[in-house]
Structure 1
Amino acid sequence: MTRDKLFALIQYPLPHHLISRVVGWFAETRLSWLKNALIRAFIKRFKVDMDEAAEPDPTAYACFNDFFTRALRKGARPVAEGLVSPADGTLSQFGRIHHGTLIQAKGQAYSLTSLLGGDTHLAAPFRQGSFATVYLSPSDYHRVHMPLTGTLREMVYVPGRIFSVNQATADHVPGLFARNERLVCIFDTEEGPLAMVLVGAMIVAAIETVWAGQITPQSDQVQSIRFDEPITLQKGAEMGRFKLGSTVVMCFGHEASFDAAGFDASVRMGERLGEIPHHATQTS
């Protein structure tokens, strides 16, 4: 048995949510000596570049979570033309959605309908579209931005486990992204429908959005909220954030053309990923 497979297997019996709540308490503590020690240790361990932060002084943050979800200085992430990355991280997978199936890792596929919370009607517009998965490592900037300008139509909270999200678990935990707790945000864009799926992970204490604040952890039931009053976010605008890292899966209703030559490319928020050809929306 490989080391990666063993790492994945030992997570099954762990009390995922309890571990995350305990870590979440430390991440929210306002005890100066403790939060400063946690922040300094994290910066050293993961070589965080504080020169990019709007507030470069690590001791200025009220708690670890404020540091972790820190804003960047103005101009640190210019927004390119076309379809752009929603976050800093690794473009781990991308391509077509074939008959409602997405690729998780080599030899691992999972269901689009399951990813979006089990609603076949919600999944239908994306079944022959495209997807892209961006993994955020601990050292990355952890705010999530819009890859396209869009108007929010629906938000779905999907309960689940919270396995660690990294290459080892992606390789060895079947349907990882459709098993973990997640938040599904459906937008209407000029390039067709867009689903932004923010996937929780072990020790991720919460997921937030700019329109509703903290969403997770919530309940053991799928919860859907529709928005009659338009909430429109421009391309490059912040839409949410992770209090401790994870993964964003984007699903597009039409075929996208990606620039990357292969998987596992490092990307930065606002960097061009490709485009959705105009003919795709014209023929929909």
Structure 2
Amino acid sequence: MSRTLANRLFIALQHLIPQRWLSERMYRLARLQWPPLKRLIIRRFARTYRIDMSLAQEPDLDAYPSFNAFFTRALRPDARPLDPDPAAILCPVDGAISQIGPIESGRLIQAKGRDYSVESLLALAPGELHPFEGGRFATIYLSPRDYHRIHMPLDGRLDQMIHVPGRLFSVNAVTAAGVPNLFARNERLVCRFETEIGPVAMILVGAIFVGGIETVWAGEVTPPHSGLEPQRWDYEVDDQCIRLERGAEMGRFNLGSTVILLLPPGQAEWESGLTPGDVVRLGQRIGTRLDAKAAGHGH
């Protein structure tokens, strides 16, 4: 069978399978605490994906009460040092760059020859404006072997969170190339922050078997995979407002997917040389604040 035909069959299967039902079953399986079963699942997964447990805060596989606890494991404090330059925009996750570049004419690149709109990604109402035109985006894919907590690229104050119900297509190079508007169709959580460079958005995209997306301020947002309309939370600017420091954890996935980072225009640039396929790590510099660079604080 040719690779092209195999890819077409894989995409066709994505449309046919009961995505939500399968994801809900995986959610339950990942939280089972029966020792023989959870031990078998964890050990087989760690062996298959060659997980380096020396980086984990708890290196003993048997110490985790469930597969989900293992999958969302914390790393040692020294495992992912943060770039010390305050002008650096940090990578928010471990993963690989799927696409990176400018936001032009309200469009983001999904794959070669395929793009989609910022409005659809952010689930904006018709005519609703956004602050990212002319800015920059980075799409970072998390594989099953990666660390699955998401951290802040900059100091930020939470302005808004939107849970967008949607499909649960698998997210990988094949579906990115073959499923139109993939990231704007899948279930996702849109988190918008006010930062020192202005508004920044982090979009946590769900996928098949991603049975849970959660944040540090709201806990588990999904599941349930229910409802047809987006749910929106606006956060007040007061003494109780939610502020997160650069490098602090902001959320996590159960099973892998994708984080999309949006930056405003004229405020930052990506590191030169970053291209699709590059492996990146939490805490490394992936961009630079232009205000700091102009002031002589960049590298």
- TM-score over 0.5 (shorter chain): yes
Which residue in the other structure is 2:270 paired with? 258
Who is 2:157 aligned against? 151
Uncovered stretches (5+) of structure 2, i.e. residues with no partner: none
Matched to 1:246, the amino acid is S
8 Å CA contact retained: 1:85, 1:268: yes
Q: Percent identity?
A: 48
Match of 1:133 in 2: 139
Quote the RMSD (CA, aligned, Å).
1.7
Preserved CA contact (<8 Å) 1:116 1:122 = no
Note closer, same or farther for the CA distance 1:45–1:123 as it changes in structure 2 (3 Å cut). farther
| 1:272 maps onto 2:297 in alignment | no
For residues 194 and 73 of structure 1, the distance between their equivalents in structure 2, rounded to whole angstroms, comes to: 28
Report the CA distance between 1:65 and its aligned residue. 0.3
Secondary structure of the structure 1 residue equivalent to 2:123 = coil
Partner in structure 2 of residue 43 of structure 1: 46
Q: Is the 8 A contact 1:192 1:281 kept in 2?
A: no
The Cα shift of 1:280 comes to 11
Contact 2:151 2:249 in 1 (8 A): yes
Q: Distance in 2 between matches of 1:160 and 1:111?
A: 16
Which one is further off, 116-125 or 158-167?
116-125
Q: 1:233 to 1:47 in 2, by over 3 A?
A: same
1:70-124 deviation line (CA, Å, top 9, x unaligned): 0001111011131111000001111111121000111110111110113357652
Distance 1:270 1:279, change over 3 A: closer
In structure 2, what is the equivalent of residue 75 of structure 1?
A: 78
Letter in 1 for 2:155: T
Aligned residues: 282
Alignment partner, residue 96 of structure 2: 90
Q: How far apart are residue 5 of structure 1 and its match?
A: 2.8
Structure 1 residue ranges (4+ consecutive) displaced by more than 3 angstroms after TM superposition: 119-123, 279-282
Report the AA paired with residue 11 of structure 1.
Q
| 1:143-186 residue CA offsets vs partner (Å, 9 max, x unmatched) | 00001111000000000000001111111111100000000000
The structure 2 residue matched to 1:210, chosen from 216, 219, 223, is 216
Aligned residue identity for 1:159 = P
Q: Could you tell me which amino acid in structure 1 is paired with residue 289 of structure 2?
A: I
> Which residue does 1:171 correspond to in 2?
177
Task: Tell me the equivalent position of 1:106.
Answer: 112
* 8 Å CA contact retained: 2:94, 2:142: yes
Deviations 1:175-214 (A, max 9, x none): 1000000000000001111000000000000101000100
CA distance in 2, matches of 1:39, 1:201: 21
- Between the aligned partners of 1:96 and 1:281, the Cα distance in structure 2 is 20
TM-score normalised over the length of structure 1? 0.95
**Per-residue deviation, 1:4:** 2.1
Pick aligned residue for 2:242 from 231, 243, 247: 231
Gaps of 5+ in 1: none
1-side partners of 2:170 and 2:293: how far apart? 36
- Which residues in structure 2 correspond to 1:28-67 (within 5 Å)? 28-67=31-70
Q: Which residue of 1 aligns with 2:256?
A: 245
Letter in 1 for 2:50: K
Secondary structure of the residue that 1:155 maps to in structure 2?
strand
SS at 2:21's partner residue?
helix
Amino acid at match of 1:31: W
8 Å CA contact 1:96, 1:128 repeated in 2:
yes
Q: Deviations over 1:220-251 (max 9, x none)?
A: 22000011141111110000000111000011
Deviation at 1:278, TM superposition (A): 1.3
